[in-house]
Amino acid sequence: MTARLASIAAWLLAGHGLWVALFWGLLQVPESSVWMLALSAVLAIVLVVLAAVLQSGASSAWQIDRAVVPALVSGSRRADAAILAALVFGALWWATEALLTWHAGVAGQIDAAYIARTGRSQTQWIHATFFWLVMFLRWTVGLTLAVSLLASAVAGGRAVLRSGAWVRSAIAPRSWLAVTFWFVLLVAIPWHLVDWRPRLLSLGAEPWFVGAKLALVAVAMAVGWALVLQAGHGAAEKT
């Protein structure tokens, strides 16, 4: 288990390092001619394909009945599954963003109705509850659906998606609790620490601190995302 996790995290860390390097290269391309625009388009397509290959390979590697390297190679050929999973998550993102936009438009009406019926002016809790419910749908339900779909597709092909079992497994509390736990602990929290620095840090020590901090954040996020994919794969195996 530990060796497999380390291998998958290393795959994700190295692959996303390459992805960031290519993305930085894309930003440096001067769009001053048709050829430069074409190069930008090619790099953009390569970035999408590389991201899909990384996710499908890492998800496939959690098939514990197979060696890690063959599973990575086999899963890398199912990049279409990762793109499909990303589309599902994107659809949930769009839907939740639409809900937030709708709520912003009717927030005043909700306040007026609540005050008229109860006589109380404290309405912040209503909007906070709605916001966190939407965030739950986006980051918990949406993310678990995506990684469960990815795991099912890389393990059994797109045909298994017709049964809808991956949906039932994703909405099971055990599945989304595991996905949420690892995502918050090792992905979201480290990401929010990227800009943090101690107040008394000297200028001479700052480059070393920043380098060590970013390295630790990258490792933590790679391990965290590997565990998120494992949670999705574990849910898929129960179907």
With vertex at residue 229, the alpha carbon angle to CA 226 and CA 231, rounded to the nearest 5 degrees, is 110
Q: What is the mean pLDDT of residues 90-97?
A: 97
Q: What is the mean pLDDT of residues 1-16?
A: 94
Half-sphere exposure of 184 (CA within 13 A, CB side): 10
**Do the Cβ atoms of 166 and 149 come closer than 8 Å?**
yes
pLDDT value for 237: 55
208, amino acid identity: W
Q: Is the pLDDT of residue 158 over 90?
A: no
Give me the phi and psi of 197, to 5 degrees please.
Answer: -150, 145
Q: Is the pLDDT of residue 30 over 90?
A: no
Going by the DSSP 8-state scheme, the letter that residue 158 receives in this structure is G
What's the pTM?
0.90
- Exposure string over 3-31, b if 16+ CB within 10 A, otherwise e: ebbebbbebbbebbeebeeebeebeebee
pLDDT band at 236 (very low <50, low <70, confident <90, very high): low
**Do the Cβ atoms of 131 and 42 come closer than 8 Å?**
no
Query: Which among 27, 26, 76, 13 has a CA at the least distance from the CA of 50?
Result: 76
Dihedral sign for Cα atoms in the order 58, 62, 66, 69: positive
| Average pLDDT along the chain | 91
pLDDT band at 111 (very low <50, low <70, confident <90, very high): very high
What is the number of structural domains in the chain? 1
Q: Is the pLDDT of residue 190 over 70?
A: yes
117, amino acid identity: R
> By residue range, what is the domain housing residue 216?
2-237
